[in-house]
Amino acid sequence: MPLTWAGLLAAVTTAAGCDGTQSPLNPAGPQARDIATLTWWFFVISFVVYAVTMSALVWAMARRRRPSDDDPETSRRLARVIGSALAVTVVTLVGLSTYSVVNGRRLTPPAHAALTVDVVGHQWWWDFQYRDPPGAWVHAPNELHVPVGVPVRLRAVSADVIHSFWVPNLIGKRDLVPGIITHTWIQADRPGVYRGQCAEFCGDQHAHMALYVIAEPRDRFTDWLSRQRASAAEPVTATARHGRDVFLSGPCVVCHTIRGTGAGSRVGPDLTHVGSRATLAAGTLPNVTGHLAGWIADSQSIKPGNHMPPTRLSPGDLHAVVAYLETLQ
Ligand code: CUA
């Protein structure tokens, strides 16, 4: 099939990340829109400055010397031109700086937010905690669900090293620092799934520290939150029941929580509703049976250096644990 110019352009822009996925130039919320507008103004003005400067340079290099260049009047005219160019440069820089500062102030958290979510960065995954009401905490690893059209306050901190929370379609980078709570906010103006990424180098698997913001209409968000508040489903098949027994009698409980069972550790991600999530290992793999089994059997071959050790389960036990985890919707 002949490759058209339009097809080639589409392929190149997609490969360059210009298809709008995880792009600050495809804003879906007020903060990202302000940042995108600022970016375009800087780009256009910088381009004009560059074009004018290069044109003047080429003109000066091509111009031949004339006898009139030695006239005092020519020198005075030249001084006026240079002075004017200097003044335009200063006004442009001050204008851009002022616009940038004013724009940055608009990114501060709003006084009232519909919801507050705690964000904890770990090597190399995200824990999103919904703490309202007290006593009904929900941990949603790597998936931040938000209602559409309302500001959501984020209270962010790191559990180990510095990470940076970045969802380009919605919000600029915000560092997560151990021991310091950072306040920021996020708002999505249209439903969708927006990919985010840790934006501060945080160790071997920094590149595999993705997250997804899932923006939904209010009623669907409320449904999701109430499902997440529920304890883990009781397994109904013999295989799933065996899987739960293997899980609870093995090393899994040292790190993970499954609410409603005896597993209650907060070292690794909460698995109470692991079956409802779209990906495994912070966006590294789609959450399907084969990948889940592979991850449990030997996560180190998939994401070397992550803090989950190999489990050494027999094939039968591995199959049963996978069957059990998949029922945790
Ligand atoms: Cu966390 Cu990079």
pLDDT tens profile 69-93: 888 888 899 899 999 999 999 999 9
Nearest CA-CA partner of 243 in 315, 296, 322, 308: 322
For residues 203-232, average pLDDT: 96
Is 209's C-beta closer than 6 angstroms to any atom of ligand 1?
yes
Atom of ligand 1 nearest to the CA of 199: 2
∠ Cα 311 308 294 (to 5°): 55
Dig out the tokens for 97 from the structure. Answer: 């700086």
Q: Among the atoms of ligand 1, which is closest to the Cα of residue 121? A: 1
pLDDT in tens, 116-137: 999 999 999 999 999 887 777 8
Residue 261 in this model has a pLDDT that exceeds 90: yes
Helix (H) or strand (E) holding 283, with range, is none
What's the pTM value of the predicted model, to 2 decimals? Answer: 0.85
- Kindly give the number of the ligand 1 atom that is closest to the alpha carbon of 163: 1
Burial (0-12, 13-18, 19+ Cβ within 10 Å), 143: buried
Query: What is residue 2's predicted lDDT score, i.e. its pLDDT?
Result: 45
Which atom of ligand 1 is nearest to 202's Cα?
A: 2
Q: How far is the C-alpha of 321 from the C-alpha of 67, rounded, in Å? A: 91
Per-residue model confidence (pLDDT) at position 5:
52
* Residue 120 beta carbon below 6 angstroms from any ligand 1 atom: no
Phi, psi of 289 (to 5 degrees): -50, -50
Q: Is 232 in the pocket of ligand 1 (CB under 6 A)?
A: no
**Cβ of 200 below 6 Å from ligand 1:** yes
Ligand 1 binding pocket includes 206 (Cβ within 6 Å):
yes
200 CA closest ligand 1 atom index: 2
Distances, alpha carbon 264 to alpha carbons 173, 257, 279, in Å: 32, 4, 22
The rounded Å distance from CA 157 to ligand 1 centre is 12
pLDDT at position 7: 57
Question: 62-92 burial, b for 16+ CB within 10 Å, e for fewer?
Answer: eeeeeeeeeeeeeeeeeeeeeeeeeeeeeee
Q: Is 202 in the pocket of ligand 1 (CB under 6 A)?
A: yes
How far is the centre of ligand 1, averaged over its atoms, from the C-alpha of 131 (Å)?
A: 24
Higher-pLDDT residue of 68, 22: 22
For the chain, give the percent of residues with pLDDT over 90.
81
Retrieve residue 242's tokens: 């065996």
Which has more pLDDT, 220 or 12? Answer: 220
User: Which residue's CA lies nearest to atom 1 of ligand 1?
Assistant: 163
Tell me the CA–centroid distance for residue 317 and ligand 1, in Å: 33
Selection from 157, 207, 159, 155 nearest residue 184 by Cα: 155
Please state whether the peptide bond connecting residue 124 to the residue before it is cis, i.e. omega within 30 degrees of 0. Answer: yes
Burial of 256 (C-beta count, 10 Å sphere; 0-12/13-18/19+) = buried
Q: Please, which pLDDT band fits residue 1 given cuts at 50, 70 and 90? A: very low
pLDDT, one tens digit per residue, over 11-46 is 554 545 556 789 999 999 999 999 999 999 999 999
Whole-number Å distance, alpha carbon 256 to ligand 1 midpoint, is: 21
